[in-house]
Structure 1
């Protein structure tokens, strides 16, 4: 598996992965065709590549996409489900169903956290739906903590400065 930076040419992939993220439990609640017409879902991809957008795409040995993780900031009036502040990017992550459970999500998360950290953000947020225990565990193992609730999901935040200090302390 190879990680590369997400680019503006990845818009279709990210749109597909928004639907995959919503459909994480196997039930098809939305399709990729629904994303551009859903006022909330489209926020995660509209105008992708704007200032502040960062992300990574995972590719297999043949160069085919396996998934992606990306982060972007939202305005208070047009917030995402994991919104905490206008200066804290919200992370989205999607893995194609056939590749789930093989470490792709963890690699994407780590790669995206590195990109967000390199961009200079102080923290990163996300939302995780009730019942998505595998994703929740992946986030909590990296230091994300619950800071709120939005519908049937918890809002989690990772303090990037604290996470860096903790990682450094473990290496000693």
Structure 2
């Protein structure tokens, strides 16, 4: 996708994006039955604040925006250059979002590859991410982009289940 360019987000773009990413994370946690709907937004805010104590200027965090050459926004990436669980020489992809109008056109893969290039330029040898198992589109994107499963969590609901 030679028409895709990637640049650092501005602080104003970050402020708008952060509101949405917190809400989306809360919604994902509720959908996965990890958090109650009543507390999800606050838990997501707290988690975001823990990861980004200095907000936009938090050291080691990259906030990238993908655009078409004409400036049309395509998507965003949030990457930490250090792994949240301490994996050595491994960055962590916290978020990738593609604008709905641009999904399915290869921009996700192009934006992911551009983010990987930025991580390489920072001298980090690997990148890891988490994905919800029922997010088939994302799982497919990562598999086609060369990611492999390194850990896997599974859950069974026991509510109403009988032996």
Q: TM-score range by the shorter chain?
A: 0.5 to 0.7
Q: Is it true that 1:138 corresponds to 2:141 in the alignment?
A: yes
- TM-score (normalised: structure 2): 0.65
Aligned-partner Cα distance in 2 for 1:35–1:45: 15
Check the 8 A contact 2:109/2:145 in 1, yes or no: no
Check the 8 A contact 1:19/1:35 in 2, yes or no: no
* Number of residues of Structure 1 aligned to a counterpart in Structure 2: 140
- TM-score (normalised: structure 1): 0.62
| 1:54 aligns with one of 48, 62, 84 | 62
Measured against aligned partners, the alpha-carbon deviations of 1:36-70 in whole angstroms (never above 9, x if no partner) come to: 96222445655234332234311245424221113
Aligned to 2:100: 97
SS of 1:12's partner is helix
Distance change (3 Å), C-alpha of 1:74 and 1:115: closer
Aligned to 1:107: 110
Aligned to 1:38: 45
Structure 1 residue ranges without an equivalent (≥5):
153-172
Check the 8 A contact 1:56/1:111 in 2, yes or no: no
Structure 2 residue ranges without an equivalent (≥5):
156-163
* Alignment RMSD: 3.4
Give, in angstroms, the shift of residue 112 of structure 1.
Answer: 0.1
Alignment of 1:46-85 (within 5 A): 47-60=55-68, 62-73=70-81, 79=84, 83=85, 85=87
Aligned-partner Cα distance in 2 for 1:103–1:138: 9
Check the 8 A contact 1:57/1:69 in 2, yes or no: yes
Aligned-partner Cα distance in 1 for 2:52–2:23: 11
Question: By percentage of residues, which structure has more strand?
Answer: 1
Give, in angstroms, the shift of residue 18 of structure 1.
Answer: 5.4
Give, in angstroms, the shift of residue 143 of structure 1.
Answer: 2.0
Larger Rg: 2
Distance change (3 Å), C-alpha of 1:116 and 1:14: farther
SS of 2:152's partner is strand
